[in-house]
Amino acid sequence: MMQKIQKFGGAMFTPVLLFAFAGVVIGFGTLFTTEVIFGSLAAPDTLWYGVWNVILQGGWTVFNQLPLLFAVSLPIGLANKQNARCCMEVLVAYLTFNYFVSTMLSQWGPTFGVDFSAEVGGSSGLAMVASIKTLDMGMIGALAISGIVIALHNKFFETELPEWLGVFSGSTFVYMIAFFVMLPTALVACLVWPHVQDGIRAFQGFVATVGLPGVWIFAFLERALIPFGLHHLLYSPFYYDNAVVNGGIYAAFAKQLPEIAASSAPLTELAPYAAFTCSTWSKMFGCPGIALAFYATAKPEKRQELLGLLIPITLTAIFCGVTEPIEFTFLFIAPALFIVHCVLAACLATAMNAVGVVGVFAGGLIEISSLNLIPLWANHWMTYLTGLVVGLVFTGIWFVVFRFLILKFDFKTPGREDDEEEVKFRSKAEYRAAKQGDGSAAIEAGAEENPYAVTAAACMELVGGPDNIVDVTNCVTRLRLNVKDETLVADDKDFKAVGTSGCMKKGKSVQIIIGLKVPKVRDEFEKLM
């Protein structure tokens, strides 16, 4: 079951990759159409405003169609065959489901406790999905329908039909079955979901009253679930769905940006719901503290080469918000350090909220600058400077705590390995050549080969070959595998030796930390199966 949950979490992250760019576009579009900042140049009747408003509305595409986007994207990671065809099947079935729901509510709305004549949004419980007025089921409904269709696709896509029925095979056959499955599914949705919405609204009220303890718990769990690949499942309903605010924190905050930019009231009063997008603080301030602790505790002769590892992975965490490269350098070596890291991350998030720093702070510095610092600096610069001071204090805390624990318990963090072990990663070609006893040809081989293919080949070898692979997916940084025999999978240090950031094994579930190039590595990996 855990393997299935992990696979689902990785697949669900696929559309999230679009949010960074969309957020940047919305941030700049909102910035350049705000009169408070640009004065008369940004007045609604100016050409400047018109051009940037066109760009801004285009940037809203991703957030306005989130359910549809999640529904169509899920098959990319979960369909066992013909992923592209499955995406089409999900799209048609999801639209069919919403047409069924819309028609049922328009005819029998009072029976289900729904006022279908109400305007979409707000407390009506209604939304527009691809121009269809339907129940606002957000991402949950989209993922449920997508999951049903993916299961049908995996089971029936290759079903052999009699030759005279051949026109109904493949995707047509899957959709035929899905069509009739959507009828009872739509009925169940009409019966159940209005009550779920009541529960969601009650939960929103509860979260709003919890205050700082709620922020601490959320921030801790968001970090702690990373090794299991389940953190996406925790934060997605908060960020992109209705767990805290209608439409998700990202969409709600972006829509409110002009109002927030024009006001000098505290951010915690203007957007209290934005307290939960707080994971970036440990990325911006925690990771540098960890890197400094690694450098300070490293052996003197290894510090220079250690910098070649620490600088890029720390900058990646700060600017892009991708922390796996640095977190996985010590997660398996010293799990206790990771727990401490999670605790400090939660404390920092809570402290930031306590001093009034809230907003969209889930990505890296690039994202938070466009959605927070640039558009809101004029009236909220003092809040951000206060947050900077708090963050730097915590950088020092991370450094002191990590340095103490590393030295106290002699953790073999990067730069403290035994003398025979190298800090620097060997190239993939070097590793393969070494395995074959021909180290002289390693560098030349690596230069001639596709680097993604080389990485894929090395990883395939280390997981026991294609015969040991059950299935493969990926999230933003990790190649996720289920294997037949976990004893055939090499150790973490072997994966690091071929240029990855390590490997996590839990039973038959294997996660290889590749980095942002993982989609290309997966493509090459699948060619070897």
Among the listed residues 193, 142, 150, 140, the one whose alpha carbon sits nearest the alpha carbon of residue 4? 150
**Token code pair at residue 55:** 């760009």
DSSP assignments along 395-426, one per residue:
HHHHHHHHHHHHHHHT---TT-S-TTS-SSPP
Sign of CA dihedral 210, 212, 216, 218: positive
C-alpha to C-alpha distance for 61 and 228, rounded to whole angstroms: 31
* Separation CA 10–CA 482 (nearest Å): 13
d(CA 459, CA 455): 6
158: tokens are 């290759």
Considering all CA atoms of the chain, what is the largest pairwise distance in Å, rounded to the nearest integer?
77
425-428 contact pairs (CB < 8 A, 24+)? 425/309, 425/496, 425/497, 425/498, 425/499, 426/497, 426/498, 426/499, 427/498, 427/499, 428/454, 428/455, 428/457, 428/458, 428/498, 428/499
CA-based end-to-end distance of the chain: 24
d(CA 207, CA 285): 26
Which are the catalytic amino acids?
Answer: 475
Give, to the nearest 10 degrees, the angle between helix 2-12 and helix 231-240.
40
**CA 271 from chain center: how many Å?**
23
C-alpha distances (whole Å) from 488 to each of 111, 337, 440 are: 58, 28, 28
